[in-house]
């Protein structure tokens, strides 16, 4: 019994010893393992989801995997950490399989998930990552994060620029490029969301924006033709990177890619495309770039990629050739930065407190215990260029929702030499773009390119701006030599300054360019520019607001205003008795009647007035008879002398006769003064010009019709004017029958000449000056109704506008524009003919000709002739009286009286009371004071 007890006791001791031995062994093993773990490299397991290789379009997406592998390779050189990846490929549209793959990765004990590469299957991955608190790194545009709930704990990090900030960058670029109107072409709804900020930043008075969505399929020409027909030159293109070149190629086929068109490409990968087919089109293609290929860290990373690619697939030369700093896709760069970012964050956090990873399952509620630690640390960690390895895409910082907030975008554009950086946008100053290529440098570059440019210049015939040159005998003119004029000389001068060549062409319809609101089409020169059939339009083309909305203009090369062209008054041959016109015929008759009546009244009153009976012999104080000198002859002479303001040698002495004479003198004074004043006014009015002197005069009357060129700038001025006078003139022109509009200034001038002062033509004063220099019967009425200028038109967004405007300014400062105007207005083709006249067309002197005063000479001659007739009659009457009184024959009396009258030395006649034998009653007598016989 005792032996049995002893044996049992020994067995118990052995079992306890074995147990303690095993326990000690286990503790030792655990201690050893802990020591081993402390000295061994830590393994960081991550999961990455790539596209299924069947989804890729060639080798373009393979650099993403190379970038990921290169990032893993960097951790092999770390002494304490090593990163291992669980790589899976899945179709983008297969969300179910994507979820299964993520669940399989969780069972491997991963610390983070990278991918997927697009939003098509991201929802399931993001949902699992947030549920299990595993950090997920996205590298694609995810607009859903812009509307995420800020109160949720998120483990998602998107390295793509934050959606709203990127949209702000796009909006700022559009504003800085001064785009007022443009077309938006987008491929999907995400693209439209990217452009919302651009649309919101527009002002209420900005022109409408054309928004078009790309139709399914590869043929986008119908949509592009719609945009071309709209004459829109500025386009924002938002589509997949792989579709950009195809769309631009189709746009080029419909003439939508040339030097006047500008594009903004929203894809951050656009700069890596091969734009060789579009370099010489000179289209302004602007893009954003997140990766600066000139950064040192980028060049170092690319070298790592090349080494990684060479080791993984040494025979894949195509892939190796595509790996370059200029060809880094944004997806590859962001994934590379994401891996480096996570590795750096993991190391920093693990060194403070060990991160433990465990196997997880989608079916359990267990979460990654250190997942939120990693998430929170990532949100406050600043991964910049000072961190090794540095990021390819610049500084990386996330907000509370895992959105990337601090980043810089470079502005690049396509040139003949290739891609060039022109500016930079930083999220810290979202309303500013720091341009690195100044406007002066850009203009200098454009001027240098002008020597390779042959401008297509369109114009219209119209003197003196453009006319056909008259060839010499036997000469045949071709090309530009066919034309001459101000416009030709102007372009020649600009071409000499900017060193370019040109080719002149005439616009088919010879119109300036007006907009038809019914057809919504332009015609003339503006239509040619909109259709890209010409680069410049040069003529007397007025710069108007309506035209400015369709095309661009240089600074004005000529300043002018609308004025009125009218013909001078055609003077009728003066009336021979025009001196009688100041008084009407009735007045003349009344005056003649008054003259006779007053003379008769004086005669009658004088016979009744005692004071008018005088002593015929003053020496005889007691005369036997009194004499009244106021016979009818003397009365007529008194009133006539008073009427002629000459007076008379005899004057009435009676009170009544003096009263009558005084009233007659007062009447004569007023009538003479009135006649003199009215005669001066009459002669002045006879020399006055037209009866209109201003636009107000035209508007107030209806006798003289007036019009302008149909559809021209002058017509638009009256149509759009709010000034009451001009609006009334427009209404009258519209209602006039027949039409007062003409097709050209030449036709308007012709109508003015042939209308006999019943038509006035409204046109620019420069045209009026030209016509007045050649036709002295024309004149300008009034001043300018407005002020405007002629400019050189070109398509909107033309890169040459500033250079050509500068050349125009230089010609103006050098006096060449003035010389050109003097040449074509006053020297060529009959100019200067009327240079002796004033600008208004009136003569400088107001002289009276013989036609004006000839009637007075006729009256004088007629009066003298009448006096001679009366004198002859008196002489013959006296001869007869002598013959009767002297009892001699009439012939004898006529002979003796005529001999005596012709004896000019005799000045006295003796009266004989007796009849001599000769029968003569008169004999010469000798003056006592003279020895000569009289």
The structural domains of the chain, with segments of one domain joined by +, span 38-161+329-404, 163-292+407-440, 450-561, 562-569+690-785+840-848, 578-616+626-687, 850-923
Q: How confident is the model at residue 856 (pLDDT cuts 50, 70, 90)?
A: low
pLDDT at residue 327, as a whole number = 83
Rounded to 5 degrees, what are φ and ψ at 425?
A: -120, 135
Q: Residues of the chain with pLDDT > 70: what percent?
A: 84
Asked which of 138-142, 591-595, 614-618, 853-857 is least confident by mean pLDDT, the reply is 853-857
- H helix or E strand, kind and range, residue 43: strand 42-51
pLDDT at residue 741, as a whole number = 94
Q: How confident is the model at residue 854 (pLDDT cuts 50, 70, 90)?
A: low
Taking 70 as the threshold, does the pLDDT of residue 210 lie above it?
Answer: yes
Q: How confident is the model at residue 906 (pLDDT cuts 50, 70, 90)?
A: low
Q: How confident is the model at residue 921 (pLDDT cuts 50, 70, 90)?
A: very low
Q: How confident is the model at residue 713 (pLDDT cuts 50, 70, 90)?
A: confident
Asked which of 287-301, 520-534, 605-619, 704-718 is least confident by mean pLDDT, the reply is 605-619
pLDDT at residue 289, as a whole number = 93
Q: How confident is the model at residue 571 (pLDDT cuts 50, 70, 90)?
A: low
CATH class of 562-569+690-785+840-848: alpha beta
Mean per-residue pLDDT for 588-612?
A: 83
- Asked whether 404 and 397 are in contact (CB, 8 A), the reply is yes
Q: How confident is the model at residue 531 (pLDDT cuts 50, 70, 90)?
A: confident
CATH class of 450-561: alpha beta
pLDDT at residue 201, as a whole number = 83
Q: What architecture does CATH give domain 578-616+626-687?
A: Orthogonal Bundle (1.10)
pLDDT at residue 583, as a whole number = 81
Which tokens sit at 840? Answer: 């208004």
Taking 50 as the threshold, does the pLDDT of residue 29 lie above it?
Answer: no
pLDDT at residue 26, as a whole number = 46
pLDDT at residue 143, as a whole number = 80
Distance CA(528)–CA(510), nearest Å, equals: 11
CATH class of 163-292+407-440: alpha beta
Q: How confident is the model at residue 31 (pLDDT cuts 50, 70, 90)?
A: very low
pLDDT at residue 813, as a whole number = 94
Task: Give, as one character, the DSSP assignment of residue 269.
Answer: T
Distance CA(579)–CA(354), nearest Å, equals: 128
Rounded to 5 degrees, what are φ and ψ at 211?
A: -120, 120
Q: How confident is the model at residue 5 (pLDDT cuts 50, 70, 90)?
A: very low
Taking 90 as the threshold, does the pLDDT of residue 761 lie above it?
Answer: yes
Q: Is the peptide bond before 389 cis (omega within 30 degrees of 0)?
A: yes
Distance CA(922)–CA(934), nearest Å, equals: 11
Asked which of 294-308, 552-566, 600-614, 731-745 is least confident by mean pLDDT, the reply is 600-614
Mean per-residue pLDDT for 349-370?
A: 87
Report the range out of 331-335, 589-593, 713-717 with the highest average pLDDT. Answer: 331-335
DSSP three-state, residue 558: strand
Taking 50 as the threshold, does the pLDDT of residue 391 lie above it?
Answer: yes
Strand partners, 918: none
Q: Residues of the chain with pLDDT > 90: what percent?
A: 31
Taking 70 as the threshold, does the pLDDT of residue 8 lie above it?
Answer: no
Mean per-residue pLDDT for 269-284?
A: 88
- Say whether 450-561 and 38-161+329-404 share the same fold: no
- Asked whether 305 and 323 are in contact (CB, 8 A), the reply is yes
Mean per-residue pLDDT for 864-881?
A: 79
User: Which of 248, 183, 188 minimizes the C-alpha distance to 220?
Assistant: 248
Q: How confident is the model at residue 112 (pLDDT cuts 50, 70, 90)?
A: very high
Asked which of 113-117, 554-558, 576-580, 647-651 is least confident by mean pLDDT, the reply is 576-580
DSSP three-state, residue 467: strand
pLDDT at residue 315, as a whole number = 53
What pLDDT, in 10s, does the model give residues 479-517? 999 999 999 999 999 999 999 999 999 999 989 998 888
What pLDDT, in 10s, does the model give residues 602-635? 888 787 777 777 877 777 777 777 788 888 888 8
Taking 90 as the threshold, does the pLDDT of residue 468 lie above it?
Answer: yes
Q: What DSSP string runs through 209-278?
A: PEEEEPPSSS--HHHHHHHHHTT--EEEEE--HHHHHHHHHHHHHTT--STT-EEEE--TTGGGS--GGG
Q: Mean of the per-residue pLDDT values for the chain?
A: 82
- Asked whether 103 and 86 are in contact (CB, 8 A), the reply is no
Q: Which residues contact 766 (CB under 8 A, 6 or more apart)?
A: 540, 558, 560, 790
Mean per-residue pLDDT for 519-538?
A: 92
Taken in order 289, 295, 300, 306, the sign of the CA dihedral is positive
What pLDDT, in 10s, does the model give residues 406-449? 899 999 999 888 888 999 999 999 999 998 877 778 778 888 88
Report the range out of 598-602, 741-745, 857-861, 922-926 with the highest average pLDDT. Answer: 741-745
Which is more confident, 270 or 319? 270
pLDDT at residue 66, as a whole number = 87
Taking 50 as the threshold, does the pLDDT of residue 783 lie above it?
Answer: yes
CATH superfamily of 38-161+329-404: Response regulator (3.40.50.2300)
User: Which of 538, 573, 569, 572 minimizes the C-alpha distance to 556?
Assistant: 538
Distance from the first to the final alpha carbon of the chain: 226
pLDDT at residue 847, as a whole number = 57
Count Cβ atoms within 10 A of the Cβ of residue 593 and give its class: 0-12 exposed, 13-18 middle, 19 or more buried: exposed
Distance CA(15)–CA(297), nearest Å, equals: 66
Taken in order 679, 680, 683, 686, the sign of the CA dihedral is negative
pLDDT at residue 863, as a whole number = 62
Taking 80 as the threshold, does the pLDDT of residue 14 lie above it?
Answer: no
pLDDT at residue 32, as a whole number = 37
User: Which of 564, 581, 580, 654 minimizes the C-alpha distance to 612?
Assistant: 654
Task: Give, as one character, the DSSP assignment of residue 923.
Answer: E
What pLDDT, in 10s, does the model give residues 286-338? 999 999 888 888 888 888 888 888 777 655 555 565 678 888 889 999 999 99
Taking 70 as the threshold, does the pLDDT of residue 38 lie above it?
Answer: no
pLDDT at residue 118, as a whole number = 82
Which is more confident, 281 or 921? 281
Asked which of 96-100, 442-446, 808-812, 867-871 is least confident by mean pLDDT, the reply is 867-871
pLDDT at residue 37, as a whole number = 46
- Asked whether 890 and 880 are in contact (CB, 8 A), the reply is yes
pTM reported for the whole predicted model: 0.68
User: Which of 802, 100, 745, 51 minimizes the C-alpha distance to 445?
Assistant: 802
């Amino acid at each position: 019994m005792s032996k049995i007890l002893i044996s049992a006791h020994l067995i118990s001791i052995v079992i306890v010893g074995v147990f303690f031995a095993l326990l000690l062994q286990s503790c030792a093993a655990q201690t050893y393992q802990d020591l081993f773990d402390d000295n061994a490299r830590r393994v960081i397991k991550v999961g990455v989801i790539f596209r299924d290789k069947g989804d890729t379009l060639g080798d373009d997406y393979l650099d993403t995997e190379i970038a990921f592998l290169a990032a893993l390779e960097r951790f092999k050189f770390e002494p304490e950490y090593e990163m291992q990846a669980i790589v899976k490929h899945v179709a983008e549209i297969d969300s179910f399989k994507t979820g299964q793959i993520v669940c399989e990765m969780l069972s491997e004990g991963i610390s983070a998930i990278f991918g997927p590469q697009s939003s098509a299957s991201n929802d399931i991955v993001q949902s699992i990552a947030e549920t299990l608190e595993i950090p997920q790194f996205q590298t694609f545009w995810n607009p859903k994060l812009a509307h995420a709930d800020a109160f949720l704990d998120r483990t998602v990090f998107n390295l793509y620029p934050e959606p709203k900030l990127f949209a702000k960058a796009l909006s700022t670029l559009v504003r800085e490029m001064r785009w007022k109107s443009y077309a938006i072409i987008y491929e999907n709804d995400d693209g439209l969301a990217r452009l919302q900020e651009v649309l919101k930043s527009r002002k209420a008075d900005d022109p409408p924006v054309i928004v078009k969505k790309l139709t399914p399929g590869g043929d986008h020409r119908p949509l592009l033709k719609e945009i071309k027909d709209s004459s829109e030159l500025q386009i924002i293109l938002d589509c997949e990177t792989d579709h950009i070149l195809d769309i631009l190629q189709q746009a080029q086929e419909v003439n939508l890619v040339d030097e006047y068109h500008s594009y903004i490409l929203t894809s951050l990968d656009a700069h890596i495309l091969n734009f060789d087919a579009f370099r010489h089109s000179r289209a302004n293609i602007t893009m954003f770039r997140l990766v600066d290929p000139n950064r040192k860290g980028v060049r170092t990373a690319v070298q790592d990629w090349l080494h990684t690619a060479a080791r993984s697939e040494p025979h894949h030369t195509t892939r190796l050739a595509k790996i370059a700093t200029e060809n880094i896709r944004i997806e590859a760069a962001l994934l590379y930065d994401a891996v480096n970012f996570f590795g750096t964050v993991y190391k920093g956090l693990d060194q403070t407190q060990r991160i433990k990873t465990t196997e997880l399952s989608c079916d359990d509620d267990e979460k990654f215990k250190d997942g939120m630690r990693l998430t929170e640390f990532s949100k406050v960690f600043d991964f910049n260029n000072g961190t090794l390895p540095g990021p390819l895409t610049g500084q990386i910082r996330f907000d509370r929702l895992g959105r990337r907030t601090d980043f810089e975008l470079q502005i690049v554009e396509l040139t003949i030499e290739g891609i060039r950086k022109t500016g930079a946008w930083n999220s810290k100053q979202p309303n500013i773009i720091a341009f690195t290529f100044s406007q002066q440098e850009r203009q200098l570059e454009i001027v240098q390119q002008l020597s390779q440019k042959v401008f297509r210049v369109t114009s219209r015939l119209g003197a003196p701006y453009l006319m056909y040159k008259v060839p010499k005998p036997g000469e045949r003119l071709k090309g530009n030599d066919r034309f001459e004029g101000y416009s030709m000389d102007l372009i020649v001068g600009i071409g000499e300054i900017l060193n370019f060549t040109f080719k002149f062409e005439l616009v088919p319809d010879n119109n300036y360019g007006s907009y038809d609101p019914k057809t919504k089409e332009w015609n003339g020169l503006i239509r040619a520019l909109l259709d890209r059939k010409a680069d410049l339009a040069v003529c007397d083309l007025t710069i108007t607001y309506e035209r400015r909305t369709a095309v661009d203009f240089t600074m004005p090369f000529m300043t002018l205003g609308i004025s009125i062209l009218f013909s001078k008054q055609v003077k009728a041959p003066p009336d021979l008795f025009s001196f009688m016109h100041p008084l009407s015929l009735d007045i003349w008759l009344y005056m003649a009647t008054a003259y006779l009546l007053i003379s008769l009244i004086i005669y009658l009153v004088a016979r009744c007035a005692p004071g008018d009976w005088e002593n015929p012999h003053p020496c005889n104080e007691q005369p036997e008879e009194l004499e009244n000198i106021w016979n009818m002859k003397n009365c007529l002479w008194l009133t006539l002398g008073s009427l002629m303001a000459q007076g008379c040698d005899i004057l009435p002495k009676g009170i009544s006769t003096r009263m009558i004479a005084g009233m007659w003198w007062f009447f004569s004074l007023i009538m003479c003064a009135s006649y003199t004043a009215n005669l001066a006014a009459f002669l002045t009015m006879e020399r006055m010009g037209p009866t209109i002197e201003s636009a107000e005069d035209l508007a107030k009357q209806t006798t003289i019709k007036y019009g302008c060129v149909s559809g021209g700038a002058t017509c638009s001025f009256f149509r759009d004017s709010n000034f009451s006078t001009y609006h009334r003139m427009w209404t009258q022109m519209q209602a006039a029958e027949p039409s007062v509009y003409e097709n050209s200034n030449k036709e308007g001038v012709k109508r003015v000449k042939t209308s006999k002062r019943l038509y006035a033509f409204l046109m620019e004063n420069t045209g009026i000056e030209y016509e007045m220099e050649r036709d002295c019967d024309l004149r300008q009425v009034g001043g300018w109704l407005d002020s405007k200028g002629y400019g050189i038109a070109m398509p909107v967004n033309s890169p040459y506008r500033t250079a050509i405007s500068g050349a125009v300014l230089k010609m103006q400062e050098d006096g060449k524009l003035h010389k050109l105007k003097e040449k074509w207005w006053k020297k060529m083709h009959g100019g200067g003919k009327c240079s002796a006249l004033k600008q208004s067309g009136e003569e400088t002197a107001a002289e009276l000709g013989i036609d004006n005063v000839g009637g007075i000479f006729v009256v004088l001659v007629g009066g003298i002739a009448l006096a001679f007739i009366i004198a002859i009659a008196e002489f013959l009457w006296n001869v007869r009286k002598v013959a009767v009184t002297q009892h001699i024959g009439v012939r004898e009396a006529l002979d003796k009286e005529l001999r005596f009258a012709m004896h000019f030395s005799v000045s006295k006649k003796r009266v004989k009371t007796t009849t001599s034998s000769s029968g003569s009653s008169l004999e010469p007598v000798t003056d006592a004071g003279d020895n000569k016989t009289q």
